[in-house]
Every structure is written in C-alpha cells, then in structure tokens.
Amino acid sequence: MKAVWIGVLAASALLLAGGAQADAELAKKSGCLNCHNPDKNMAAPALKNIAAKYRGDANAEAYLAGKIKKGSAGVWKMPMPAMPPNNVTEANAKVLANWILSLK
C-alpha cells in the first residue's frame, strides 16, 4: 500500500512539473519572456516580483489576465503594451496569469 501512495505522489509531481514547464513554454511562445525574466528584473519586472505583489489577492488572476491582454501603465516603471490578439487568447492569458502567480 505504501508503494502505491509513493507512486501516486511521484506521478502527481511529474504532472505538476510538466504543467509548469508547459506554461513557461507558453510564456516564451507568447512573447512574454522577450521583456520579462522569471527571476530578475530586465526591461520589465521579474515575474516572481509580479507574483509576490499580487499573492493573496483574490482577484489577481483576472486582473493579471486583463493586463496581459490589454497592457498596463502606471503599475511598474515601464508600461506594458497590449498583446496582439493572435499572440495570447483569453484562455491563455488566464493560464499565464496562474503560472505567474505560482512562481516563488
């Protein structure tokens, strides 16, 4: 029985890691990583800094998804342009927002 639980836990960890990797690939494919880096500030704030700023905010996913789609000004030092509609769908904006919020 113990071996079964260990197997289930290991499989779950692999699925979660695969999802995180897939979302990083989506961020790269969508152009997010042209300006953002997960760990350090570049032309735009580090994604981990964005996650830290909004962690615990119940509306963070919707807020960030909206900023990803429509752009942002006045939140950080540099404004973020709106993403072209063919780069990020509404669904992908939500996936990206959740991925960003998961970064620590």
What is the pLDDT, as a whole number, of residue 19?
53
Query: What mean pLDDT is predicted for residues 31-43?
Result: 93
9-18, 68-77, 93-102: which is most confident: 93-102
CA distance 43 to 31: 13
State the greatest distance between any 2 C-alpha atoms of the chain, in Å, as a whole number.
55
Q: Residue count of the chain, please give it.
A: 104
Q: How sure is the predictor about 15, in pLDDT bands with cuts at 50, 70 and 90? A: very low
Beta-bridge mates of residue 72: 80
Q: What's the predicted TM-score (pTM) here?
A: 0.76
What is the pLDDT, as a whole number, of residue 20?
60
CA distance 88 to 38: 18
pLDDT digits (tens, 9 = 90+) for 50-69: 999 999 999 999 999 999 99
Q: How sure is the predictor about 45, in pLDDT bands with cuts at 50, 70 and 90? A: very high
